[in-house]
Amino acid sequence: MRLPVTAGIKAKGSCGSRNVFFGVAPQKGLCVTAAGTVVHGKLERGKGVVKGMRSFKEIPHTGRNGWLNLLKFWRENRFQQLHKHMERTFNMLGPIYREKLGTLSSVNIMLPSDVSELFKSEGLHPRRMTLQPWATHREIRNHSKGIFLKNGEEWRADRLQLNKEVMMSAAVKRFLPLLDEVAKDFCRMLQTRMEKEGRGEEGKCVLTIDPSPDLFRFALEASCHVLYGERIGLFSSSPSLESQKFIWAVERMLTTTPPLLYLPPRLLLRMGAPLWTQHATAWDHIFSHAEARIQRGYQRLSTSQGRASPAGTAGGHYTGVLGQLMEKGQLSLDLIKANITELMAGGVDTTAVPLQFALFELGRNPEVQESVRQQVRASWAQAGGDPQKALQGAPLLKGTIKEVLRLYPVGITVQRYPVRDIVLQNYHIPAGTLVQACIYPMGRSEKVFEDPLHFDPSRWSREEGQRAEAAGFRSLAFGFGARQCVGRRIAENEMQLLLMHILLSFHLSVPSSEDLNTTVTFILQPETPPRITFSKL
């Protein structure tokens, strides 16, 4: 199945003015392979650099007046179509451009060679764009900040402690059975619903639904099980109202974040602006929900003290990331609360939405679906019920997630502030400039991927034979390096395990294979959730 073609004409690597890049002639002196680092005014590690490095001011731009640009964004509703705006702008201006919106200025890039150069200059303490609305909320409510909002040595110290509980292989081995349990329960719930609501011919039961509400409940149930070590019963016939309010609060927080990025939050606070009030109220509810769960976790851990149990367990049961952090005591309770809350807030929509896209793409690509299913069946049979072995034997599952996130990345950019001057596309980029790797246009570009609009999970297995660096900078949905998404291992395994059990139990199809229209709140999601037909195998 192919998506609508949005990429332009393929360009050759030459810098001649008569060549075409993305359907437009490049400016004089532009070279699509130019990248390097400036040291003492000289270029190092340059690749195909033409003579006469160009200044920062010469980078193509979308308009010099940030406030006029911001007004245009508001009038034309571009915030919701920011991913498409970026794609169009690269098609018009080439592989690098500057943009100023309100108080925010950035340089936007999309080619892996440029992204590679950017990450080489990120330094020991990589920085990404500060989400000022989130930071302001923490400050006015006197909450500690988690690693998502920290920088420098303070960030690094906290991140190293969290890595031990959510990123290391030993940690993954501890929480994988919890995710597997929730994924199995989801499929049992779906089977029960199919028996009650399904219909079909000749006794074959099928169920066509919008699965997004169930996927949100799955993501929240799985996150709570891993982070707090407890189930919250979202698959029951009457899930708690409190949990539904939490999902609503996360969605409201994400929706109100983008417009607040370009305006001074404290000014809006003093003005009593409704947008800020909605944002702060959503965060207040998120913190309230997390506080109640953390208090229960603390009480469970306190009652288990004195027992001969391994670290992070109570009565022999794994107590989740929260229990591990509390028992080890390397982070203060306030910092544990801050980071657990951020993990919870960032762990629902960011897995539930990609799963919507995954079910849709598998449903409208039956040959791909069957290839993945066959591999999953064989691996599951050999794994003897071990979820880790089952995933290791089914690389197409991982490829499916990577392919979904290539076409529909949760976050459409990855940002860094280089610690030294660099050269991108033969333009000088001063140290401290906000540079955004725009991964939605990258994922759909013929300059980066062969047949980019074709859904093909096997492409990632083929890329393993390529240079690791070249392959790595084509898949950036979780970021890169020391500052990559701290919840990456939870999210990857959560999504793979659910798809695995769905494919073992159901055949997927879609009532309509038309391409999905997408929109950006703070994350990329479908304008209308796709309907999926589940048929029992």
The binding site for heme comprises: 485
From residue 196, how far is each of 190, 199, 423, 533 by CA, in Å? Answer: 10, 9, 61, 15
- Known binding residues: 485
- For residue 237, give every residue at least 6 positions away whose Cβ sits within 8 Å of its Cβ, in sequence order, or none: none
CB 491 within 8 A of CB 397: no
**Cα separation of 477 and 402, whole Å?**
8
> Environment class of residue 505 by beta-carbon count within 10 Å: exposed (0-12), middle (13-18) or buried (19+)?
middle
**Cα separation of 402 and 54, whole Å?**
36
- To 5 degrees, how large is the angle CA 496–CA 450–CA 128? 60
Query: Which spans in 305-428 are helix H?
Result: 320-328, 333-345, 349-364, 366-383, 387-392, 395-407
From residue 502, how far is each of 363, 495, 512 by CA, in Å? Answer: 12, 11, 20
- For residue 450, give every residue at least 6 positions away whose Cβ sits within 8 Å of its Cβ, in sequence order, or none: 459
The secondary structure element, H or E, covering residue 520 is: strand 518-520
**Cα separation of 349 and 203, whole Å?**
36
CB 260 within 8 A of CB 273: no
**Which residue do the tokens 């990857």 mark?**
492
**Cα separation of 109 and 439, whole Å?**
9
> Environment class of residue 231 by beta-carbon count within 10 Å: exposed (0-12), middle (13-18) or buried (19+)?
middle
**Cα separation of 133 and 265, whole Å?**
6
Phi-psi region of 157 (alpha: psi -120 to 50; beta: other; left: phi over 0): alpha
